[in-house]
């Protein structure tokens, strides 16, 4: 099991891509039609002012089938997943879920995954958690570790091999 | 009434946000909550939703199934984990086909998700299950004259559709808990603003700007302290406060606490046991009896 299985264009990814494609077509055909472009989503969007994300425009682009354009754009990675757009949409369109599907599509199409996502994924594959135990600093600059604070040992998958077998199925499982 | 939960630690709390875990383990037993540690938990999957939503669903179901195997309900202190596991319950509860598919994958670890267990977060555990009356009765050191701002975290309050422990537009349960400790709470316009935490993964500068903007407002409103209930939010507001200040050209000095740290103090737990030395924001500004 490697990170490639979950993220690249490898053969095992064909099914996964088909599935995400299916999700996007469904969103395009059934969901984007409900949107009447009131822009209530964009009005409350946490990423709007700072990073110019306009969720209502993403829905409009989806409706017109401009999926590749969005998948290739950096803007989909500016969403903070605050879920305000899903909460407040009068038509239950949930732009945030469209953005998740688009990002998943970008990943499965072999696009470069931004930031620390790859490292976090790698860590999950090896120890089940996004990171291992870290040393922390106190306000007066002493370093401390989990066990030094009297906390019990970290809970993580007991049998990493079996845990990985489960994860592998995500990349190859048929719908 | 004594109640028992498996503590689901997630990733961030047990690997670096130790103050939350310490204060949970110290203060909740004083309210008759018994916490059980289970080996074998993994990431909830929520931070990976942008990469692969099926992975999120799978990881969440895996953790729920593990708790079911031990016949225990789950206490989930992280807002992000709580969202992931809530959504998993919602999706698998409404989609038998997906449930079957996930269970097929879980078989490799001899796990099955049935959907029999309950989940709680810190806020509903304290407010709904323990209850503010009980908390009031057990307070030994009331926090008189301290004015606090609350931060719930986006993942705890939305989306209502999947079931959240607090109201999405007017959450007040933290206020009720803090008032039971005799602290003062005041609403402020930026209360529902995001910490930016998720962007720490790929756009760290922007993430810090979000944090800085909110804290700057809190500082200008004249609060004595800021209270949160999620390790991702706390990492931004407390651990990264001075950096966040740089992004908004402000010298920030807002004391930031986990709710359970204040709870512990009010219940009479010694300061040293609540991980207060791990808060990097100036928590010493507040004097606690
Ligand atoms: S709030 Fe809903 S209906 Fe209005 S523009 Fe956004 S997605 Fe469309
Ligand atoms: S979830 Fe993303 S798109 Fe929706 S309002 Fe929040 S930041 Fe904007």
> Do the domain assignments include residue A2?
no
Of B16, B42, B105, Cβ closest to residue A134 = B16
Out of A51, A73, A108, pick the residue that ends a domain: A108
**Are residues A83 and A41 located together in one domain of the fold?**
yes
Whether pLDDT at A27 is above 60: yes
Out of A108, A128, A143, pick the residue that ends a domain: A108
pLDDT at B133: 98
**Are residues A103 and A135 located together in one domain of the fold?**
no
pLDDT at B151: 98
What's the structural domain count of chain A?
A: 2
pLDDT at A93: 95
**Which residue on chain A is closest to B153 by alpha carbon?**
A82
pTM for the whole structure: 0.96
**Which residue on chain A is closest to B16 by alpha carbon?**
A134
* Edge-first strand listing for the sheet containing B225-228: B184-185, B147-151, B225-228, B256-258
Out of A74, A91, A108, pick the residue that ends a domain: A108
B274 contact A CB<8A: no
Mean pLDDT across B129-133:
98
* ipTM given for this complex: 0.95
- Chain-chain contact of A80 with B199 (C-beta, under 8 angstroms): yes
| Chain A residue numbers touching B158 (CB-CB < 8 A) | 82-84, 86-87
> Do the domain assignments include residue A56?
yes
**Are residues A145 and A63 located together in one domain of the fold?**
no
- Chain-chain contact of B49 with A81 (C-beta, under 8 angstroms): yes
Q: Where are the beta strands (DSSP E) in A103-146?
A: 136-137, 143-144
Domain that holds residue A37: 14-108
- A7 band by pLDDT with thresholds 50, 70 and 90: low
CB atoms inside a 10 Å sphere around CB A72 = 12
User: Distance (Å) from the C-alpha of residue B268 to the closest C-alpha of chain A?
Assistant: 20
CATH code, A45: 1.10.1060.10
> Do the domain assignments include residue A138?
yes
> Do the domain assignments include residue A1?
no
CB atoms inside a 10 Å sphere around CB B100 = 10
- Chain-chain contact of A77 with B54 (C-beta, under 8 angstroms): no
- Chain-chain contact of A6 with B51 (C-beta, under 8 angstroms): yes
**Are residues A69 and A137 located together in one domain of the fold?**
no
User: What pLDDT digit, counting tens, does each position of B46-56 carry?
Assistant: 999 999 999 99
| Chain B residue numbers touching A131 (CB-CB < 8 A) | 11-12, 15-16
> Do the domain assignments include residue A165?
yes
pLDDT at B242: 96
How far away, in angstroms, is A83 Cα from ligand 2 center?
A: 6
The structural domains of chain B, with segments of one domain joined by +, span 3-120, 141-285
CATH class of B3-120: mainly alpha
Distance CA B144, CA B160 (A): 34
User: What pLDDT digit, counting tens, does each position of B222-259 carry?
Assistant: 999 999 999 999 999 999 999 999 999 999 999 999 99
CA angle centred on B82, ends B129 and B99, rounded to 5°? 110
B205 contact A CB<8A: no
> Do the domain assignments include residue A146?
yes
> Do the domain assignments include residue A86?
yes
Whether pLDDT at A60 is above 70: yes
Neighbour-count burial for B215-224, b at 16+ CB within 10 Å, e otherwise? bbbbbeeebb
> Do the domain assignments include residue A51?
yes
Instruction: Assess if CATH 3.40.50.970 describes domain B141-285.
Output: no
Residue A96 beta carbon below 6 angstroms from any ligand 1 atom: no
Q: For residue B216, what are its two tokens?
A: 């700057």
User: What pLDDT digit, counting tens, does each position of A81-120 carry?
Assistant: 999 999 999 999 999 999 999 999 999 999 989 999 999 9
B255 contact A CB<8A: no
Of B202, B270, B283, B215, nearest to B248 (Cα)? B215
């Amino acid at each position: 099991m490697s990170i490639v299985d979950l993220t690249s264009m490898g053969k095992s990814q064909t099914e996964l891509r088909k599935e995400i494609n299916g999700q996007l077509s469904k969103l395009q055909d059934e969901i984007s039609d409900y949107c009447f472009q009131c822009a209530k989503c964009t009005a409350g969007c946490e990423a709007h002012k700072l990073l110019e994300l306009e969720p209502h425009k993403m829905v409009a682009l989806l409706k017109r089938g401009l999926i590749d354009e969005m998948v290739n754009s950096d803007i989909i990675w500016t969403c903070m997943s605050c879920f305000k757009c899903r909460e407040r949409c009068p038509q239950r369109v949930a732009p945030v879920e469209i953005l998740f599907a688009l990002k998943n599509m970008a990943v499965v199409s072999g696009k470069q995954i931004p930031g620390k996502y790859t490292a976090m994924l790698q860590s999950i594959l090896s120890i089940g958690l996004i990171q291992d135990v870290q040393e922390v600093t106190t306000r007066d600059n002493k370093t401390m570790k989990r066990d030094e604070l009297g906390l019990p040992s970290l809970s993580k998958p007991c049998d990493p091999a079996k845990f990985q077998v489960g994860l592998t199925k995500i990349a190859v499982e048929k719908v | 009434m004594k109640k028992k939960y498996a503590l689901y630690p997630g990733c961030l709390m047990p690997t670096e946000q130790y103050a939350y875990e310490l204060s949970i383990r110290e203060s909740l037993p004083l309210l008759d909550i018994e916490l059980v540690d289970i080996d074998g938990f993994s990431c909830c999957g929520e931070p990976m939703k942008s990469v692969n939503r099926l992975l999120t669903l799978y990881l969440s179901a895996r953790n729920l199934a593990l708790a079911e195997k031990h016949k225990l309900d789950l206490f989930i202190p992280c807002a992000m984990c709580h969202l992931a596991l809530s959504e998993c319950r919602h999706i698998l509860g409404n989609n038998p086909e997906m449930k079957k598919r996930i269970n097929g994958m879980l078989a490799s670890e001899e796990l099955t998700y049935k959907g029999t267990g309950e989940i709680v977060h810190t806020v509903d555990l304290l407010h709904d299950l323990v209850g503010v009356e009980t908390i009031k009765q057990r307070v030994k050191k009331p926090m008189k004259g301290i004015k606090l701002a609350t931060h719930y975290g986006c993942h705890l309050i939305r989306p209502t559709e999947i079931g959240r422990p607090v109201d999405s537009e007017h959450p007040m349960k933290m206020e009720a808990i803090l008032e039971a400790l005799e602290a003062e709470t005041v609403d402020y316009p930026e209360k529902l603003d995001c910490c930016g935490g998720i962007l720490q993964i790929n756009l760290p500068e922007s993430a810090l700007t979000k944090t800085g903007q909110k804290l700057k407002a809190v500082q200008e409103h004249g609060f004595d302290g800021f209270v949160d209930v999620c390790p991702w939010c706390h990492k931004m507001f407390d651990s990264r406060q001075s950096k966040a200040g740089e992004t908004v050209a402000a010298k920030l000095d807002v004391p930031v606490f986990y709710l359970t740290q204040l709870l512990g103090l009010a219940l009479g737990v010694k300061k040293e046991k609540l991980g207060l030395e791990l808060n990097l924001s100036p928590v010493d500004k507040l004097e606690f009896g």
